Every structure is written in C-alpha cells, then in structure tokens.
Amino acid sequence: MDKTTNQELRALAEKNGIDPDQLLEIAHADGLPEELSATVAEILGDMTIFGQALDEKEE
C-alpha cells in the first residue's frame, strides 16, 4: 500500500470513529496468502476512493 493510500485510509478511519492503527493492522495481517493480501489492499483502496467521493459530495 502506498503512502498516499495509507494516509487517506487513516483520515477516513478517524473521521468515522475507527482506530486507524487497528484498520491498518488488519490490512497488513501476517499469514494471509499473497492473493488475499492483494485483494484486501484493493478493497481498502476502493474504500478510500469512496470516502473521498463522499467528502467531495458533502462539500
């Protein structure tokens, strides 16, 4: 996960009352097969994009 996505996920988590460290810990959980880890990263990226879209709509 790149630095920008990481920062955006942190901001989105904090805005929604979620502990960003816990969210990122789940995203980086050890023991996941590579394919599953890649899928988790994609989903988190999609959540970030969705959150950004909602933020823009609210403005």
Q: What is the mean pLDDT of the chain?
A: 80
Q: Is residue 16 helix, strand or coil? A: coil
Question: Looking at residue 19, what DSSP letter applies?
Answer: -
C-alpha to C-alpha distance for 50 and 30, rounded to whole angstroms = 26
Question: Looking at residue 1, what DSSP letter applies?
Answer: -
C-alpha to C-alpha distance for 24 and 29, rounded to whole angstroms = 8
Q: Are 10 and 20 in contact (CB under 8 A)?
A: yes
**pLDDT tens-digit profile of 6-34?**
788 788 888 888 888 887 787 676 666 77
Please compute the mean of the pLDDT values over residues 41-51 and round it to a whole number: 84
pTM equals 0.50
